[in-house]
Amino acid sequence: MIQLKKVLLASLITASFVAAEVQAATEWNVSLWGKRRAFTENVEKLAELVNKKTNGDFKLNISYGGLSKSRENLDGISIGAFEMAQFCSFYHKDKNPTITVTELPFTRDLSLKRITEIYQQVYANPIVQKDLARWNATLLMPTPLPQYNIISKTDTLHKLSDFKGMRVRGPGGIMGVLSKLGAVKTGVPFSEVRQSMDSGVIDAATFAPHAHLATKTYKVGKWASTNLNLGSANCPVVVNTDALNALSAKNRAALLGSVDQALDYYVDNYDNNVFGKYEKAIKDAGLDLVTFTPAQTAELNRLSESVRDEWVKKYAGKFDSRSLYDFTEKLFNQ
């Protein structure tokens, strides 16, 4: 009997140690898409920092397409299918209308560092936080992107009227302007852009440099714009709010305390590597470079103003769109 008690006691002690280890280890699933690229380096660096700061007690398991489709990541966050995800607001603007404010054509070519600061301040706006709370989502960090430019397989563009009938893949703000010039917004998944250009489903794509590199649009294009300056996409990284609240104080501090470092790494990588690679790629491919004239830029800016006004009117009944727009415009103009 004494021996049996010793065995049982030993088993209980072992079980308690195992349970403690299980409780101590926290793993989050992170839903991304495509492949690892400049666009995902903020998340990759965040995972590295969190793992290091917690000595492996908190791990971010990154999946590229294995957890959800890119356009369903916000839905997955809302039901707790995974704890962290990246998505682009123009994928489903009706689900997250407030953050589409940053995709409006403010006609400003700003540094990635400044864009990062603007997005973080917009994410902290109570109107935006309330909007994302409907999905049980907390905005963790932005994925700052430079101004988008076009690569097209059509004959080289010389005048703005050449946009008429052009089938273009792009986010809301840019397409709002180009649609007024007769371009046709044509949605295709990111992974199918190159194939869609090859087959003629789309004539052109508007992307940040990293995405043109990833999809290799320059291999089928004839020309590329250099100064479109009609905005970019807003692609935040969000976390499930319940999962965030359930973290231990140590793990929560490690996660939140690593955001700025991850963003600094992302921006440095983009500034020092991506821009140069993109410029070399389009040069080597022999693409014509289209630089809009001052008169053309003035016309694009005039159309941009109407697109911004339309956004305010469209969402006026859903939230204080005027207040959020004014707040964001001020940030872009500082």
Same domain, 89 and 217: no
Last residue of a domain, one of 224, 245, 274: 274
Same domain, 198 and 315: yes
Residue 190 has what pLDDT? 87
Considering only residues 12 and 31, tell me which one the structure prediction assigns the higher pLDDT.
Answer: 31
Residue 71 has what pLDDT? 94
Please indicate, yes or no, if residue 61 is contained in any of the structural domains: yes
Distance CA 185, CA 202 (A): 9
> What mean pLDDT do residues 292-309 have?
96
Domain that residue 71 falls in: 26-143+234-274
Residue 13 has what pLDDT? 45
- pLDDT tens-digit profile of 216-247? 999 999 999 999 999 999 999 999 999 999 99
For the cut 90, the answer to whether the pLDDT of residue 172 exceeds it is no
Same domain, 112 and 252: yes
Same domain, 156 and 69: no
Same domain, 70 and 168: no
Please indicate, yes or no, if residue 167 is contained in any of the structural domains: yes
Distance CA 78, CA 62 (A): 18
Q: pLDDT category, 15, cuts 50, 70, 90? A: very low
Per the CB < 8 A criterion, the answer to whether 105 and 176 are in contact is: yes
Mean pLDDT of the chain: 92
Q: pLDDT category, 298, cuts 50, 70, 90? A: very high
- pLDDT tens-digit profile of 306-328? 999 999 999 999 999 999 999 99
Give the residue among 192, 139, 197, 145 at the shortest CA–CA distance from 167: 197
Distance CA 63, CA 211 (A): 19
Please indicate, yes or no, if residue 301 is contained in any of the structural domains: yes
Residue 25 has what pLDDT? 81
Pairing verdict, β 149-152 and 204-207: antiparallel
Per the CB < 8 A criterion, the answer to whether 287 and 223 are in contact is: yes
Same domain, 119 and 222: no
CA 46 to chain centre: 15
Please indicate, yes or no, if residue 15 is contained in any of the structural domains: no
- pLDDT tens-digit profile of 264-285? 999 999 999 999 999 999 999 9
Same domain, 261 and 329: no
For the cut 70, the answer to whether the pLDDT of residue 16 exceeds it is no
Q: To the nearest 10°, report the CA torsion of 100, 209, 60, 82.
A: 40
Residue 107 has what pLDDT? 87
Same domain, 304 and 316: yes
Identify the CATH number of the domain in which residue 60 sits.
3.40.190.170
The pair of three-digit structure tokens given for residue 298, joined into one six-digit string: 């003035």
For the cut 90, the answer to whether the pLDDT of residue 333 exceeds it is yes
Same domain, 305 and 323: yes
Same domain, 270 and 280: no
Q: What is the 3-state secondary structure (H, E, C) of the chain?
A: CHHHHHHHHHHHHHHHHHHHHHHHCEEEEEEECCCCCHHHHHHHHHHHHHHHHCCCCEEEEEEECCCCCHHHHHHHHHHCCCCEEECCHHHCCCCCHHHHHHHCCCCCCCCHHHHHHHHHHHHCCHHHHHHHHCCCEEEEECCCCCCCEEEECCCCCCCHHHHCCCEEECCHHHHHHHHHCCCEECCCCHHHHHHHHHHCCCCEEEECHHHHHHHCHHHCCCEEECCCCCCCCCCCEEEEHHHHHHCCHHHHHHHHCCHHHHHHHHHHHHHHHHHHHHHHHHHHCCCEEECCCHHHHHHHHHHHHHHHHHHHHHHCCCCCHHHHHHHHHHHHHC
Backbone angles phi, psi at 317, to 5 degrees: -85, -5
- pLDDT tens-digit profile of 145-169? 999 999 999 999 999 999 999 999 9
For the cut 80, the answer to whether the pLDDT of residue 20 exceeds it is no
Residue 275 has what pLDDT? 95
Per the structure, the count of domains in the chain is: 2
Residue 23 has what pLDDT? 55
Predicted structure pTM score: 0.87
> What mean pLDDT do residues 179-199 have?
92
- pLDDT tens-digit profile of 202-214? 999 999 999 999 9
Residue 103 has what pLDDT? 94
Q: Lowest-pLDDT range, 14-23, 41-50, 133-142, 184-193?
A: 14-23
Please indicate, yes or no, if residue 227 is contained in any of the structural domains: yes
- Amino acid, single-letter form, for residue 101: V
- pLDDT tens-digit profile of 56-85? 999 999 999 999 999 999 999 999 999 999
Please indicate, yes or no, if residue 8 is contained in any of the structural domains: no
Residue 255 has what pLDDT? 98
Same domain, 73 and 113: yes
Same domain, 251 and 303: no
In the block, residue with structure tokens 């703005």: 160
Distance CA 323, CA 329 (A): 10
Residue 24 has what pLDDT? 54
For the cut 80, the answer to whether the pLDDT of residue 5 exceeds it is no
Q: pLDDT category, 254, cuts 50, 70, 90? A: very high
Distance CA 286, CA 221 (A): 9
Please indicate, yes or no, if residue 99 is contained in any of the structural domains: yes
For the cut 70, the answer to whether the pLDDT of residue 4 exceeds it is no
Please indicate, yes or no, if residue 111 is contained in any of the structural domains: yes
For the cut 60, the answer to whether the pLDDT of residue 34 exceeds it is yes
Distance CA 186, CA 201 (A): 8
Distance CA 326, CA 245 (A): 32
